[in-house]
Amino acid sequence: MFRTRHDHRPEMVQVFVEGRALMVPEGSSAAAAMLIAGLPAMRETPVSGSPRLPWCMMGACFDCLAEIDGVANRQACMVPVAAGRCIARQHGAREVPR
Distance of CA 49 to the CA centre of its chain: 18
Task: Please say which residue, 72 or 97, places its beta carbon nearer to ligand FES.
Answer: 72
39 forms part of the interface with ligand FES (CB under 6 A): no
82 forms part of the interface with ligand FES (CB under 6 A): no
Task: Please say which residue, 13 or 76, places its beta carbon nearer to ligand FES.
Answer: 76
**E-only strand ranges, the chain:** 12-17, 20-25, 43-44, 51-52, 65-68, 71-75, 86-88, 90-91
Which residues contact ligand FES by CB under 6 A? 31, 54-57, 59-64, 75, 77
